[in-house]
């Protein structure tokens, strides 16, 4: 069925800065584009890119400088000038890797091996989270809404303090989660009575209505139900929203995804996959009770699954997906009108980044388009069977096996043929990598270019390099100088 467009409310684009933080000039261009595509808010997850001060200064990134106070204020001005609200996302319970990885904070982990989960029993935990929030709120003048995360609180209940607490009658892991989040929310309301507090909903999904009702959270926080799957279960999402509503949580949010949710290491997104997710969210919005106040949707663009995992797709290759998803929400489907809006704004003929081709001279370029084109070309090269499975080709397996390499006994004529082929592939890759690097460092810190290349290119180049080096060494033993 065709759905009505997304109901009134916010369409937030999620900026995940815990990986590949854009250079500020690029960031400002992106914000302008988000606005042109139909977004009216930003959900900004700073993590280690926020200029924390005092005892929290150690949280700042070291691979590249954190954004300065001036840059963060300017970013908000750019957003405001486009009619966009900025909502910071500061994790307060789970996904605390960026804090708990630091040695002085190790004692605040729920479990020694789990870098993500905060120990809720320590007063210092609450104190540090409140200090983080204070610094973030202070640098967002006029802030009305704050997202405090609280998703995927893995290993909660497994630490020694928690085991002791859980030994008391009536104490449960659900209760432990709810009491910490309630404590945080009350402390926030005490400092900023007007503040709207959003949390991720996943830790509450299995809780029954009565548990939620009795928790003290009702009226303090607004759950954001997230589901990024292309085949998401519409009925299940509707019943979850209904459950929160019946527990007294009238103000609710949704979260979809335009990138960063396919696999932990995906480098080029499939727009179709993310479109399916948004079409299902439209069905959810059309099926819920009239009393539910769906305040908006956050279109997430994860840059890492967590602080310590690898990079997901970079923003330039995901902009066609974001454009298509936003226009689908606005029109209720990816109609001809929606597609022409995407084509017109991005100067593309397809919403799939792998099919956008090269921009004609004078065509309207979306910010980062050149990099998107180069990354698609490089990825095609890296995925070509001849290169990716070079070690498995007949000549290598037949005349330059590990056995040959070990004994340094080879047929020079054939191995030199292999060497020529491998060298040619290496040169092709090297040339394309340098083009990608040259473009990437205009938009991202050098450390991002380095990380992306090591993650995606080095594993493919290494076997080719081993073969060329190995052949050179073996031929030396077999052919007179």
The set of catalytic residues is 152
8-state DSSP, 4: P
Pick from 99, 18, 130: which is nearest to 63 by CA? 18
Q: What φ, ψ does residue 200 adopt, rounded to 5°? A: -65, 150
C-alpha span between 369 and 353 (Å, rounded): 10
Q: What φ, ψ does residue 290 adopt, rounded to 5°? A: -65, -30
Positive or negative, the CA dihedral 69, 75, 78, 82 is negative
Q: In the structure encoding, which two tokens stand for residue 117, read together?
A: 């989960």
Q: In the structure encoding, which two tokens stand for residue 408, read together?
A: 């340094």
First and final CA of the chain: distance in angstroms? 75
Positive or negative, the CA dihedral 359, 362, 365, 369 is positive
C-alpha span between 74 and 53 (Å, rounded): 19
Pick from 160, 152, 138, 53: which is nearest to 97 by CA? 152
Q: Reduced to 3 states, what is the DSSP secondary structure of residue 111?
A: strand
C-alpha span between 278 and 258 (Å, rounded): 9
Is residue 308 within 8 A of residue 97, CB to CB? The reply is: yes
Exposed/middle/buried for residue 263 (C-beta within 10 Å: 0-12, 13-18, 19+): exposed
């Amino acid at each position: 069925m065709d759905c009505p467009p997304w109901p009134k409310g916010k369409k937030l684009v999620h900026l995940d800065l815990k990986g590949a933080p854009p250079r500020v000039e690029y960031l400002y261009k992106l914000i302008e584009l988000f606005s042109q595509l139909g977004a009216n808010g930003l959900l900004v997850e700073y993590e280690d890119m926020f200029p924390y001060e005092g005892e929290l200064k150690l949280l700042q990134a070291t691979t590249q400088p954190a954004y300065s106070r001036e840059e963060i204020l300017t970013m908000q001005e750019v957003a405001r000038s486009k009619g966009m609200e900025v909502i910071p996302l500061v994790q307060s319970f789970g996904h605390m890797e960026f804090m708990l990885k630091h040695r002085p904070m190790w004692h605040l982990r729920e479990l020694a091996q789990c870098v993500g989960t905060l120990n809720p029993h320590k007063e210092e935990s609450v104190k540090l989270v409140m200090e983080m929030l204070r610094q973030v709120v202070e640098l967002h003048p006029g802030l009305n809404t704050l997202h405090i995360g609280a998703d995927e609180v893995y290993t909660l209940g497994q630490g020694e303090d928690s085991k002791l607490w859980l030994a008391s009658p009536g104490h449960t892991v659900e209760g432990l989660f709810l009491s910490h989040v309630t404590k945080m929310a009350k402390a926030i309301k005490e400092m900023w009575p007007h503040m709207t507090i959003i949390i991720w909903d996943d830790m509450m999904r299995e809780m029954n209505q009565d548990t939620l009702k009795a928790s003290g959270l009702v009226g303090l926080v607004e759950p954001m139900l997230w589901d990024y799957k292309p085949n998401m279960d519409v009925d299940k999402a509707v019943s979850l929203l209904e459950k929160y509503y019946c527990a007294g949580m009238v103000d609710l949010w949704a979260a979809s995804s335009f990138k960063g949710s396919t696999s932990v290491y995906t480098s080029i997104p499939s727009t179709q996959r993310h479109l399916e997710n948004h079409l299902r969210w439209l069905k959810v919005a059309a099926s819920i009770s009239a009393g539910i106040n769906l305040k908006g949707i956050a279109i997430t663009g994860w840059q890492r699954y967590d602080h310590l995992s690898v990079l997901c797709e970079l923003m330039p290759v995901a902009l066609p997906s974001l454009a298509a998803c936003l226009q689908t929400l606005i029109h209720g489907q990816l109609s001809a009108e929606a597609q022409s809006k995407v084509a017109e704004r991005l100067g593309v003929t397809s919403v799939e980044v792998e099919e956008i081709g090269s921009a004609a001279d004078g065509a309207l370029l979306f910010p980062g388009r050149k990099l998107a084109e180069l990354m698609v070309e490089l990825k095609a090269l890296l995925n070509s069977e001849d290169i990716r499975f070079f070690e498995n080709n007949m000549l290598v397996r037949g005349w330059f096996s590990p056995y040959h390499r070990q004994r340094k006994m080879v047929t020079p004529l054939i191995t030199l043929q292999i060497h020529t082929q491998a060298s040619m592939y290496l040169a092709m890759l090297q040339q394309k990598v340098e083009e990608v690097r040259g473009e990437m460092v205009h938009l991202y810190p050098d450390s991002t270019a380095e990380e992306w290349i090591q993650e995606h290119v080095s594993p493919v180049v290494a076997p080719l390099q081993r073969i060329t080096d190995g052949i050179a060494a073996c031929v030396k033993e077999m052919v007179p100088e």
